[in-house]
Chains A and B, each alone.
Chain A
Amino acid sequence: MSKKWAVLAVPVISVLLGLLAGAVIMLVSGNNPAAGYMALWNGAFGDSFYAGETLRQMTPYIFAGLAVAFAFRTGLFNIGVEGQLLVGWLASVWVGVAFELPKVIHLPLAVLAGAAAGAVWGFIPGFLKARLRVHEVIVTIMLNYTALHVTNHFIRNVISDGSDATDVVKESASLRSPFLENLTDFSSLHNGIFLAVIAAIIMWFLLEKTTLGYELRAVGYNQHASEYAGMNVNRNIILSMVISGAFAGIGGSMQGLGTFGNMFINSGFSGIGFDGIAVALLGGNTAVGVVLAALLFGALKVGSLNMPVESGVPNELVEIVIALIIFFVASSYMITWLLSRFKKKEAK
Chain B
Amino acid sequence: MEKRKFGFAMSMVLAAGTILGACGGGEEEATDNGGGSGENTDKFTVAMVTDVGGVDDKSFNQSAWEGLQAFGEENGLEKGTDGYDYIQSKSDADYKTNLNTAVRNEFDLTYGIGYKLKPAIEEVAKQRTESQFAIVDDVVEGLDNVTSITFKEHEGSFLVGVVAGLQTKSDKIGFVGGIESDLINKFAGGFEAGVKAVNPDADVTIEFAGAFDKADKGQQMASAMYSSGIDIIYHAAGGTGNGVFAEAKSIKETDPEKEVWVIGVDRDQSEEGKVTVDGKEMNVTLTSMVKRVDLAVQDVAKKAMDGEFPGGEVIEYGLDAEGVSIAPTQDNLTEESIAAVDEWTEKIKNGEVEVPTVPSGK
Contacts and interface: CB of A to CB of B under 8 A. Distances in A.
A171 interface: no
A260 B93 contact: yes
B179 A164 contact: yes
Given A4-B1, A49-B104, A270-B91, A305 B97 contact: yes
A188 interface: yes
A292 B11 contact: yes
B92 A264 contact: yes
Contacts, number: 106
A157 B1 CA distance: 55
Contact of B3 (A5, A49, A51, A261): A5
B330 interface: no
B83 interface: no
Interface stretch (A40-48, A102-110, A234-242): A40-48
Contact of B93 (A57, A295, A308): A57
Contact of A309 (B1, B28, B81): B81
A300 B23 CA distance: 22
B229 interface: no
Contacts of B87: 305, 308-309
Contacts of A186: 100, 124, 127-128
B180 interface: yes
Contacts of A31: none
Contact of A185 (B25, B81, B92, B214): B25
Interface string B91-112: 1111011101100110000000
A268 B214 contact: yes
Interface residues of A, number: 49
Residue among A8, A46, A49, A264 having the largest count of chain B Cβ atoms under 10 Å: A49
Residue among A51, A165, A315 having the largest count of chain B Cβ atoms under 10 Å: A51
A306 interface: yes
Contacts of A48: 21-23, 25-26
- Tell me if B's interface is mostly helix, strand, loop or mixed: helix
Contacts of B88: 305, 308, 315
A49 B179 contact: no
Interface in A93-137: none
A249 B11 CA distance: 27
Contacts of B104: 49
B4 interface: yes
B211 A49 contact: no
- Chain B contact-residue range equals 35 or more
A188 B28 contact: no
Residue among A162, A186, A267, A295 having the largest count of chain B Cβ atoms under 10 Å: A267
Contact of A306 (B26, B101, B212): B101
Contact of A305 (B1, B92, B94, B212): B94
A115 B84 CA distance: 45
B46 to A, nearest CB: 13
Interface of B: 1, 3-4, 7, 11, 14, 17-18, 21-26, 28-29, 81, 85, 87-94, 96-98, 100-101, 104-105, 116, 119, 124, 127-128, 179-181, 210-214
11 contacts: A47-B21, A47-B29, A48-B22, A186-B100, A260-B93, A260-B119, A267-B214, A295-B14, A305-B88, A309-B101, A315-B88
Q: Which 8 A-B pairs have the closest CB atoms?
A: A47-B25, A267-B211, A48-B22, A48-B25, A186-B127, A51-B18, A53-B97, A8-B3
